[in-house]
Chain A
Amino acid sequence: MTDVTITVNGREMQGSVEDRTLLVQFLRENLGLTGTHVGCDTSQCGACVVHVDGKAVKSCTMLAVQASGSSVTTIEGLANGQELHPVQAAFREHHGLQCGYCTPGMIMTAVDMIERHGSSLDEETVREEPRRQYLPLHRLPQHRQGDPFGGGRFAGPGHGGGMT
């Protein structure tokens, strides 16, 4: 067993884990943060995406011990109290989900894309980037078309500019 210390959604969390414990298992089973889902077990689906030190990472593909000392944001850490993150609000507004199982991963991926690309994020990148990252936007959710992430609604402070 190895001791890990990970800052999760702004709070320092400690645990003792087997070396083989995946980050997603640590989040779900040790911390009870079950908003991050496992969809495939083989690093294909992206349902498990969280942010590690500000970067989107598939938490089924990283060991908890690797994340020790890092700062992790999960879907539970996105909203500001009762106020949804703009991307969460846009998914809700545009019914950008169906059953919701993989939606946490899609939202974490979308937030990451918006934060990295800022106002230069265009439709082409939204469609093509998951291919390079091998992340899914598959058939469970239904993408609102033309305006996949709700158009210029992300220009709030702290969310990396807007999308036009």
Chain B
Amino acid sequence: MSAFYNVAPEHKLRVIAPDVGGGFGSKIYIYPEEIVCLWASKRTGVPVKWTSDRTEAFLTDAHGRDHETDVELALDADNKILGLRVETIANLGAYMSLFSSSVPTYLYATLLSGQYDIPAIHANVKAVYTNTVPVDAYRGAGRPEATYVVERTMETAARELGISPADFRRKNFIRSFPHQTPVIMAYDAGDFDACLNAGMEAAEVAGFEGRRAEAKSRGKLRGLGMSCYIEACGIAPSKAVGSLGAGVGLWESAEVRVNPVGTIEILTGSHSHGQGHETTFAQLVAERFGLPVDNVQVIHGDTDKVQFGMGTYGSRSGAVGMSAIHKALDKVEAKAKKIAAHVLEADEGDIVIENGEVKVAGTDKKLGWHEVCLGAYTGHNLPDGMEPGLKEGAFYDPTNFTFPAGCYICEVEVDPETGTTEIVQFVAADDFGRVINPMIVEGQVHGGLAQGIGQAILERTHYDDSGQLTTASYMDYAMPRAWDLPMFKVSTTETLCPGNPLGMKGCGEAGAIGSPPAVINAITDAIGNNDLTMPATPEKVWKALNAVR
């Protein structure tokens, strides 16, 4: 804000962002209202606060998605993919928003290879200004759009060829890594067969035809749809984004402050707005030294405390933010070991830290973690030349994106009389690399699936002919509710990400990325008409069904 808007010199500007509610992309950008508040406050000399009501939020918060795409797929006689051609028109809305031009380009076209070995890909994206609310990053940002194109195309091709959608995907899976796609991305690791197999097993695909027949006896049309997504997150190597024209580097910073009593404060640039960093980051630190999790405090969201950070989006908090913490912890551990070796008159290489104790391996010589920490600050007995204190910082710049992938399988029942779709089963089999807190990961998947299913069958932004937004309240804009969703069947497989020290890939967007094509593939399978757009409202489904009856 200081550099771009000149509201105040950087050293006099303090930004505090405590609990800010959910993000989902829409809070990344600098909104005009924020700048207006600063200006008004300076002008009047009093604090100024901005509150949007829900309708104002619909009218001013950036919207998401909004592509129209034509796609062609070329296959050889053996059903191996030869090439993919994509023509996309992407709406940017009426004004340029922070990421709006990079979403349908760098975050979209670079993922058009999906999980498949495709020798040639051509993508032509035309970004257009219109009279709508600006369209920008929204949970997944470009990757859901790419996944929708690829996975609807794969399913369609398999159906037209009369072969099993799973076999067609298997035939074209990438199996050796690293794999350079023709669209910039170099996938580092993955096991797409493992996800597909886990998904098919959990979804009991083998028994589907029986369930379809049973549904038919009740007058319902049952369909099954699949989606094998890959996405790129852990955003992003600074050099790579620099070469694409970004004005910033996308590293992350961390500071580990060990107090004299042994408690630890983690200062991170990865802001937490519901992702549970306070838990996961603290777990990482506590497990490393064998300390109670309550002894670790995570501090974020205050520019007077945390010097720099690039923020939380694109599932970068684990792969990038925690890697920075990991690097700083390496330094803390090394110094603590040096101190302990000096005090215990042992070799530094023999020191181990576990269960809150700093020990000489194979002996009963040890110090409590808190004793080493206190020693670092009293400075009474440190190795010659060592600075007192136990506080280290690190910056981490990733070497590549990370590539979470998975297989989602959706089963629906359509009521032919009303066109209403019920999601009767949803399976998500994901590979997120190393998982630190399974409960938080599962929660992220649940939320993402709800959003993706909402996009597929409910959520619709509509303007009338005069440009009036007619879906500007929750009376007119349908959000998924508990009864719209089944109990999800969620599982993970694991291939470690070689690009960061923790082997993590990220899970924040996956659910929203992988689910929409699975839902639409299932509905089109149920009704026997592939001509259907999102959201598949009862009216559209009923019409599509009757067009082929």
Contacts of A128-159 to chain B: CB distance below 8 A: 128, 130-131, 136-146
B10 at the interface (CB under 8 A from A): no
Residues of B within 8 A of A42 (CB): 54, 473-475
With contact pairs A42-B473, A99-B274 given, residues A131 and B483 touching in the complex (Cβ less than 8 Å): yes
B447 x A140 contact (CB < 8 A): yes
Chain A, interface size category, equals 20 to 34
CA distance A141 to B454 in the complex (A): 14
With contact pairs A41-B53, A44-B474, A137-B482 given, residues A98 and B487 touching in the complex (Cβ less than 8 Å): no
Number of interface residues of B (CB under 8 A): 32
A139 x B479 contact (CB < 8 A): yes
A128 x B22 contact (CB < 8 A): no
CA distance A142 to B276 in the complex (A): 12
Q: Decide if the interface of chain B is mainly helix, strand, loop or mixed.
A: loop
A40 x B446 contact (CB < 8 A): no
Residues of B within 8 A of A98 (CB): 22, 274-275, 443, 447
B273 at the interface (CB under 8 A from A): yes
B296 at the interface (CB under 8 A from A): no
The smallest C-beta distance from A50 to any residue of chain B, in angstroms, reads 19
A45 at the interface (CB under 8 A from B): yes
- Identify the interface centre among A45, A95, A146: most chain B CB within 10 Å of its CB: A95
CA distance A82 to B474 in the complex (A): 36
A99 x B482 contact (CB < 8 A): no
With contact pairs A130-B481, A138-B481, A140-B447 given, residues A145 and B487 touching in the complex (Cβ less than 8 Å): yes
The smallest C-beta distance from A137 to any residue of chain B, in angstroms, reads 4
Task: Flag A84-112 by CB within 8 Å of B: 1 or 0 each.
Answer: 00000000001101111100000000000
A100 x B483 contact (CB < 8 A): no
Residues of B within 8 A of A39 (CB): 54
A11 at the interface (CB under 8 A from B): no
Contacts of B206-244 to chain A: CB distance below 8 A: none
Residues of A within 8 A of B276 (CB): 95
The smallest C-beta distance from B235 to any residue of chain A, in angstroms, reads 20
Residues of B within 8 A of A101 (CB): 21-22
The smallest C-beta distance from A49 to any residue of chain B, in angstroms, reads 15
Residues of B within 8 A of A99 (CB): 19-23, 273-274
B481 x A131 contact (CB < 8 A): yes
The smallest C-beta distance from B272 to any residue of chain A, in angstroms, reads 9
By beta carbon, the residue of chain B nearest A37 is B21
A136 x B21 contact (CB < 8 A): no
By beta carbon, the residue of chain A nearest B473 is A42
With contact pairs A39-B54, A41-B53 given, residues A142 and B442 touching in the complex (Cβ less than 8 Å): yes
A130 x B483 contact (CB < 8 A): yes
A128 x B483 contact (CB < 8 A): yes
B446 x A142 contact (CB < 8 A): yes
By beta carbon, the residue of chain B nearest A141 is B447
By beta carbon, the residue of chain B nearest A96 is B443
B444 at the interface (CB under 8 A from A): yes
B253 at the interface (CB under 8 A from A): no
CA distance A131 to B480 in the complex (A): 11
B482 x A130 contact (CB < 8 A): yes
Contacts of A3-51 to chain B: CB distance below 8 A: 39-42, 44-45
Q: Which of A136, A143, A145 contacts B479 (CB 8 A)?
A: A136
B450 x A139 contact (CB < 8 A): yes
The smallest C-beta distance from B55 to any residue of chain A, in angstroms, reads 7
B500 at the interface (CB under 8 A from A): no
B446 x A138 contact (CB < 8 A): no
B440 at the interface (CB under 8 A from A): yes
CA distance A127 to B273 in the complex (A): 27
B274 x A145 contact (CB < 8 A): no
CA distance A41 to B56 in the complex (A): 11
Residues of A within 8 A of B439 (CB): 94-95, 144
The smallest C-beta distance from B384 to any residue of chain A, in angstroms, reads 48
The smallest C-beta distance from B475 to any residue of chain A, in angstroms, reads 5
A140 x B442 contact (CB < 8 A): no
B395 at the interface (CB under 8 A from A): no
B451 x A95 contact (CB < 8 A): no
CA distance A128 to B254 in the complex (A): 45
A44 x B475 contact (CB < 8 A): yes
B488 at the interface (CB under 8 A from A): yes
CA distance A101 to B473 in the complex (A): 18
CA distance A144 to B482 in the complex (A): 12
Residues of A within 8 A of B54 (CB): 39-42
With contact pairs A130-B482, A137-B481 given, residues A100 and B274 touching in the complex (Cβ less than 8 Å): yes
B487 x A139 contact (CB < 8 A): no
Q: A44-B474, A127-B482, A142-B447 are in contact. List 8 more A-B contacts (CB 8 A).
A: A40-B474, A99-B20, A130-B481, A130-B482, A136-B481, A137-B482, A142-B444, A145-B487
A contact residues vs B (CB 8 Å cutoff): 39-42, 44-45, 94-95, 97-101, 126-128, 130-131, 136-146
12 contacts between A and B (CB under 8 A): A41-B473, A42-B54, A98-B274, A127-B483, A130-B483, A131-B482, A138-B480, A139-B447, A139-B454, A141-B447, A143-B482, A145-B488
